[in-house]
Amino acid sequence: MARQEPRKDVVIVGLGWTGSILGMELSQEGLDIVALERGADQDTVPEFKYPDMLDELRYGVRLGLVLKPRNQTLTIRRGPDEVALPFRSFGSFLPGNGVGGAGAHWNGLNWRPQPEELKLRSHVRDNWGEQIIPEGMLLGDYPVSYDELEPFFDRFEHVAGISGQAGNLNGQIIPGGNPFEGRRSRDYPMPALPVTYDARKFAEAAAAMGYHPFKAPSGIASTAYVNPYGMQMGPCTFCGFCERYGCFQYSKSAPQTMILDALRRQPNFSYRTGAEVLRVEKAPDGKTATGVTYWDHAAGEEVFQPADLVILAAYQLFNVHLMLLSGIGQPYDPVTGEGVTGKSYAYQMNGSATLFYRDEVFNPFVGHGSNGMSIDDFGMNQIDFGREGFIGGAYWRSGQTNGQPIRSMPLPRDSAEWGAGWKKAVGDWYGHVMSIGSHGSHMAYRGNHLDLDPTYRDRFGRPLMRMTFNWQENDLRMNQFMRARMAEVVAFMKPDLSQLSFKDLGARYDIRPYQTTHNTGGHIMSENPAEGVVNRYSQVWGMHNVFATGAGNFVQNTQYNPTGLVGGLAYHTADAIRRQYLSNPRPLV
Amino acid sequence: MTDLPGRPSRRGFLKASAAGVAMALLPLSAKAQQAAAPVPLEQYQPVFFTPAEWAFVMAATARLIPSEGDGPGAIETRVPVFIDLQLAGEFGQAADWYMEGPFAPAADPLLGWQTPLTPAEVYRQAIPVFDAWCAQTYNAAFTALDPARQDEALAALEEAAMLAPEIRDFFSILLDNTKEGYFSDPIYGGNHGMQAWVYIGFPGARGAFLEWVERHDVPYPLGPVSISGERA
Ligand SMILES: Cc1cc2nc3c(=O)[nH]c(=O)nc-3n(C[C@H](O)[C@H](O)[C@H](O)COP(=O)(O)OP(=O)(O)OC[C@H]3O[C@@H](n4cnc5c(N)ncnc54)[C@H](O)[C@@H]3O)c2cc1C
Ligand code: SF4
């Protein structure tokens, strides 16, 4: 018999980026709120403090801040012909765990999607016709538009503390910004950060070739800043231990730095750590949730937390897992195409160039997670899909993020991997290398999806989630297009040596090397309950008191890092709950 | 008592400190200092390795990052001590990983770690197999071969034809651990005196470079500091 806690108005599952946002916004309505976080508490002091945080082995290699697969993981297969095997030791993506979630140790690359990306099916139909959509691609429009979300992107950027330079202010193109971005109602809250030598070299070449370089928008403070919740940041020192690390000095945009202290001061908000939600409990008629059941790790027992409103903010992977385990939405069947939960899982299609300059000095340890110069000339809204034969786009960036030598040691491809030759190569090349990355879109497909694994179980005896995912030709063709364009830029930059690393047509998903923690879809937004799990407000179809935040809402992935859109959607949801739902709880669509 | 994730195990820590390896965390404000002279490698008492395994790891890492040429080798940086402590600790036990069956050790390598063995068990099982292969091929143990033959044998180990699927990744684990021991902070027992950082020009845990962002193409002048406050 589970222990039962007193009823709350709201229970939030997961206290990362979106859980913190929903907690803060709903607490302003005077609601009685509890957030349940499976991991431990962690804060700038003492957990992220100097110098202990600057430890590559512990955090960069052994992944000290990341979820431990022993505690929760999933199985992966590349297609229905393969037996899915557990992701035993993380590589390709690194889910967060503990207060702050992945927001505690992300890079801070903060982008808004292009307006066309949110209405991609219409964009394709209007410009080239639906016949260019490849067989098996689930191309959709988001049920919200860029203009509707603009105030919420703006809100997130001002809470999160983003440094950057506007390229499109209310329709006016501003020199030095991204001319291909959607309209902004105001500039970024902080000016853009200065950039390192690699970024400058890239930007100079790009400009000379007629492209439009701009400073990458960063969730990294360029100045002192106070956000709308009264939280303070100080300027980043380019410490070079950013991604996978907590910031030791209040410079990285994270729930810790931007929300949590303010949230802790709200008397009607509380949170419990070591509280791992096992399932959402449904009312007998299945039309609402009654609360959630969680495992209290300290007490070693199940607890039922009744609540009037349930917010699933557990990150894309765990939101979908909880939905599959709780019977929220009909599970998706890739054979019939019916069902919604687990549908349209998507990822990111990236490539890069490495440039070696024997006589130039880059000091690669000077950097932060979103340092550098970008171009969007090959972005989604600049590409003629009909002519190029794919649907997609990418933004490029050059800017060193760290020079940590265990993992960041690019060497010419013909270098020895060990022995005297390797030692000589690391001595010769460390600090004389730069790179350019292409960060590309990834569409949703009929076969790439999430369901429950028939064999493997977690420590609570529940089935692990199973991911069926492989690269698809459309996105690989986009990547090959980027490769060809990037080869031209590299040639222009005249390095002593260079190499390109872009997945070839036919490439299969390799789960070992880190790629991105940009897992999307699985509880996508839709115009109607037949096509997705949630409506335009991220409210579950047919279960009106459950809302789900995060990139699980994405209809297909964009070409950008997801958090700008994730944060915008979270504020959009908070606004809908505050202004429409609380006074009259009901399906909002 | 649980060990801190990613740290040497408590058992390893006590044993290693008893053996004189300087691993205590000092506040950075403590007077800058060099690491106390540690116990010579030949006298080091391994926490995890048997004497035969220790001899193999000493010999193998000495070829993976040799002492000859510019820059320190694995021996001068005490990489074998690092590996010993890692295998005795959470990494060696796969403490963080999902290790429930069924296992498919012969799966496509792209699907990652699929052996039922922990890293420590892979070392324990693979070293005798490789030594038997050396005995058969060269009529001598790996440790008794001359450096050129050792390199040849390691290249064969990299190909892994003599290894069953459960231990097929032994060479790459050994190589990864060797490089980790070379470049990680000295608190883990390797990168002794931060020699590997000095060699390549990595400033360690300095963590403050704002005035260097726009000094382009100018070498950074300062040497490294470590988490425990060593300077070099
Ligand atoms: C290394 C890394 C780098 C990244 N870099 C970028 C970047 O540069 N730009 C970008 O846009 N995005 C980046 N991301 C992604 C970004 O961190 C996420 O988009 C963002 O954190 C998502 O917010 P969220 O609230 O959905 O999830 P999270 O912030 O991860 O929060 C989810 C929380 O829910 C908790 N939880 C999960 N399951 C349960 C359960 N059953 N019960 C209780 N609690 C639970 C988790 O422990 C976690 O704390 C990066 C991610 C990583 C890991
Ligand atoms: S690089 Fe800057 S923002 Fe990132 S962790 Fe270091 S000081 Fe913080």
Using an 8 Å Cβ cutoff, are A85 and A75 in contact?
A: yes
pLDDT at B28: 41
Q: How far is the CA of A106 from the centre of ligand 1 (A)?
A: 8
Contacts of A484 (CB under 8 A, 6+ apart): none
Q: Quick one: average pLDDT of A45-73? A: 98
Question: In 3D, which of B182, B210, B212, B209 has the Cα closest to residue B197?
Answer: B182
Residue with the two structure tokens 């297009």? A481
Asked if residue A234 has its Cβ within 6 Å of ligand 2, the reply is: no
CA distance to A32, A59, A85, A515, B209, per residue, from A69 (Å) = 33, 15, 13, 17, 35
pLDDT at B32: 41
Using an 8 Å Cβ cutoff, are A549 and A533 in contact?
A: no
**Residues A364, A356: Cα–Cα separation, whole Å:** 13
A468/chain B closest Cα distance in angstroms: 12
Using an 8 Å Cβ cutoff, are A29 and A269 in contact?
A: no
Q: How many CB atoms lie within 10 A of CB A406?
A: 16
**Residues A417, A413: Cα–Cα separation, whole Å:** 9
Pick the atom of ligand 1 nearest to A99's CA: 49
Amino acid at position A242, single letter? C
Domain residue limits, chain A: 3-581
Which two tokens mark A24? 């803060």
- pLDDT category at B6 given cuts 50, 70, 90 is very low
Asked if residue A277 has its Cβ within 6 Å of ligand 1, the reply is: yes
Instruction: Write out A26-48 in H/E/C secondary structure.
Output: HHCCCCCEEEEECCCCCCCCCCC
Residue B23 has pLDDT above 80, yes or no: no
**Residues A60, A66: Cα–Cα separation, whole Å:** 10
Residue with the two structure tokens 């931007």? A258
| B:168-227 residues touching chain A, CB 8 A cutoff | 175, 178-180, 183-185, 187-188, 196-197, 199-210, 212-214, 216-220, 225, 227
pLDDT at B3: 37
Lowest-confidence pick of A45-59, A489-503, B5-19, B58-72? B5-19
Backbone torsions φ then ψ of B99, nearest 5 degrees: -125, 35
- A149-165 pLDDT, tens digit each: 999 999 999 999 999 99
DSSP, collapsed to helix, strand or coil, labels residue A232 as strand
Using an 8 Å Cβ cutoff, are A324 and A450 in contact?
A: yes
**B116 close to A (CB below 8 A):** no
Question: In 3D, which of A105, A230, A223, A114 has the Cα closest to residue A162?
Answer: A223
Which chain A residues touch B113 with a CB distance below 8 Å? 88-89
pLDDT at A2: 87
Which chain A residues touch B178 with a CB distance below 8 Å? 418
**Residues A478, A393: Cα–Cα separation, whole Å:** 7
Backbone torsions φ then ψ of B32, nearest 5 degrees: -55, 140
Closest partner residue to B68 (CB to CB) among A405, A420, A422 is: A420
**A62 close to B (CB below 8 A):** yes
Closest partner residue to A424 (CB to CB) among B69, B109, B213 is: B69
CA distance to A142, B129, B137, B168, B170, per residue, from B165 (Å) = 46, 13, 21, 5, 10
Closest-approaching ligand to the CA atom of A368: 2
B91, B99, B197, B202, best to mutate vs chain A, most A CBs in 10 Å: B202
**B148 close to A (CB below 8 A):** no
- Rounded to a whole number of angstroms, the CA Rg of chain A reads 23
- What ipTM was assigned to the predicted interfaces of this complex? 0.97
- B196-225 pLDDT, tens digit each: 999 999 999 999 999 999 999 999 999 999
Using an 8 Å Cβ cutoff, are A468 and A449 in contact?
A: yes
- A74-104 pLDDT, tens digit each: 999 999 999 999 999 999 999 999 999 999 9
Using an 8 Å Cβ cutoff, are B80 and B43 in contact?
A: no
Q: Quick one: average pLDDT of A24-50? A: 98
Q: Quick one: average pLDDT of A497-524? A: 98
Which chain B residues touch A416 with a CB distance below 8 Å? none
User: Between chains, do B219 and A457 touch, taking CB under 8 Å as contact?
Assistant: no
- A465-487 pLDDT, tens digit each: 999 999 999 999 999 999 999 99
Amino acid at position B143, single letter? T
Question: In 3D, which of B131, B21, B157, B130 has the Cα closest to residue B82?
Answer: B21
Q: Quick one: average pLDDT of A532-539? A: 98
Residue A525 has pLDDT above 70, yes or no: yes
- Rounded to a whole number of angstroms, the CA Rg of chain B reads 19
Question: In 3D, which of A71, A121, A75 has the Cα closest to residue A391?
Answer: A121
Contacts of A463 (CB under 8 A, 6+ apart): A325, A452, A453, A454, A456, A457
Question: In 3D, which of A69, A412, A40, A1 has the Cα closest to residue B99?
Answer: A69
Amino acid at position A1, single letter? M
Which chain B residues touch A86 with a CB distance below 8 Å? 98, 100
Q: How far is the CA of A94 from the centre of ligand 1 (A)?
A: 9
Contacts of B131 (CB under 8 A, 6+ apart): B52, B56, B141, B142
Side-chain half-sphere exposure of A192, counting CA atoms within 13 A:
21
Which two tokens mark A435? 């790179």
A3-581: CATH homologous superfamily?
FAD/NAD(P)-binding domain (3.50.50.60)
- pLDDT category at A1 given cuts 50, 70, 90 is low
State how far Cα A560 lies from the chain centre: 9
Closest partner residue to B200 (CB to CB) among A200, A420, A430 is: A430
| Residue of chain B nearest A222, judged by CA positions | B210
Asked if residue A368 has its Cβ within 6 Å of ligand 2, the reply is: yes
Q: Quick one: average pLDDT of B22-26? A: 38
Residue B16 has pLDDT above 90, yes or no: no
Question: In 3D, which of A402, A384, A406, A403 has the Cα closest to residue A393?
Answer: A384
Using an 8 Å Cβ cutoff, are A354 and A392 in contact?
A: no
DSSP, collapsed to helix, strand or coil, labels residue A575 as helix
Which two tokens mark A31? 């609601």
**pTM score, two decimals?**
0.95
pLDDT at B4: 37
| B:90-109 residues touching chain A, CB 8 A cutoff | 90-91, 94-100, 102, 104, 107, 109
Using an 8 Å Cβ cutoff, are A369 and A106 in contact?
A: yes
Give the ranges where B31-169 is alpha helix by DSSP (H).
Answer: 51-64, 79-88, 119-138, 147-159
Residue with the two structure tokens 């972005």? A379
The residue whose C-alpha atom lies closest to atom 4 belonging to ligand 1 is A106
**Residues A538, A522: Cα–Cα separation, whole Å:** 13
Could you give the residue numbers annotated as active site of A?
Answer: 518
**B2 close to A (CB below 8 A):** no
| Residue of chain B nearest A430, judged by CA positions | B200
B75, B98, B218, best to mutate vs chain A, most A CBs in 10 Å: B98
Residue B169 has pLDDT above 50, yes or no: yes
Residue B140 has pLDDT above 60, yes or no: yes
pLDDT at B36: 64
Q: Quick one: average pLDDT of A175-203? A: 98
Percent share of chain A, pLDDT over 90? 100
Mutate to test the pocket of ligand 1, among A106, A244, A547 (most ligand atoms within 8 A of CB): A106
**Residues A302, A276: Cα–Cα separation, whole Å:** 9
Using an 8 Å Cβ cutoff, are A329 and A339 in contact?
A: yes
